[in-house]
Amino acid sequence: MMLFEPQHLLGMLQQHLRWYPLMELRDIYKLLFQSVMGAEHLIHSAEEYSLYLQTEFEHLLPDPLGRLLEPIRPDQSLLRVNLRPYKGYQLRVDGLTPALLQTAGLFTGNPAVLRTTWKEFIHLCERGELADFDINEIQQFTSWLEGLKYPAIHHSEVYRREYQPAYRLIAAQFIHQLGLDNAS
């Protein structure tokens, strides 16, 4: 029960590590969690989600030179849309919200697939294909994840400080209709 072929998973992780070389284990896990489980766990009500997104968006500085879209699945069916570049293109957040809400409903994950994907990440590290992480730390982190039944988590402090993430998950099928393929 795999979502990713090992080489595709490796390629995606290597790409994100090039973009964000200070990623820690919890950032890798968050990436894999989102790629498998989607964002449905974040949405308790459409109104609350929309209001929170609008408030966050208002306080962001625009970044027209930033990377607008980042695939988080090797098949590129699910992406992170970075809000600062989105705002930098002078796009309206209320135009984005319906697609984000629809995306949440399209990508509902399977905890067993998440565990399998995490184990494949561990195998990549054990085989030396990803040498960025200490095996002992991975084992400790995995024990922590198992004890909590593979929860949704936040980015590491380092990741938040260095990269100031502000993104949402969007299905690739909405990219064209929102004109995002022309913006990036």
Instruction: Tell me what pLDDT residue 42 has.
Output: 62
Percent of the chain at pLDDT exceeding 90: 77
Instruction: Tell me what pLDDT residue 34 has.
Output: 95
Does residue 93 sit within a domain? yes
Please state, in angstroms and rounded to a whole number, the distance separating the CA atoms of residues 184 and 178. 12
Does residue 100 sit within a domain? yes
Does residue 80 sit within a domain? yes
Provide the domain limits for residue 167.
6-183
pLDDT at 43 over 90: no
| pLDDT per residue as tens digits for the range 108-129 | 789 999 999 999 999 999 999 9
| pLDDT per residue as tens digits for the range 64-90 | 999 999 999 988 999 999 999 999 999
Let me know if 136 is exposed, middle or buried by CB neighbors in 10 A (0-12, 13-18, 19+).
exposed
Does residue 77 sit within a domain? yes
Instruction: Tell me what pLDDT residue 148 has.
Output: 97
pLDDT band at 171, cuts 50/70/90?
very high
How many domains in the chain?
1
Instruction: Tell me what pLDDT residue 40 has.
Output: 64
Does residue 60 sit within a domain? yes
Instruction: Tell me what pLDDT residue 27 has.
Output: 98
DSSP string for residues in 36-75: HHTTGGG-S-HHHHHHHHHHHHHHSPP-TTS--EEE-STT
Does residue 1 sit within a domain? no
- Helices (H) and strands (E) counted in the chain, each on its own, are 9, 3
pLDDT band at 184, cuts 50/70/90?
low
Tokens, residue 105? 């409903």
Name the nearest CA neighbour of 39 among 13, 90, 74, 73.
73
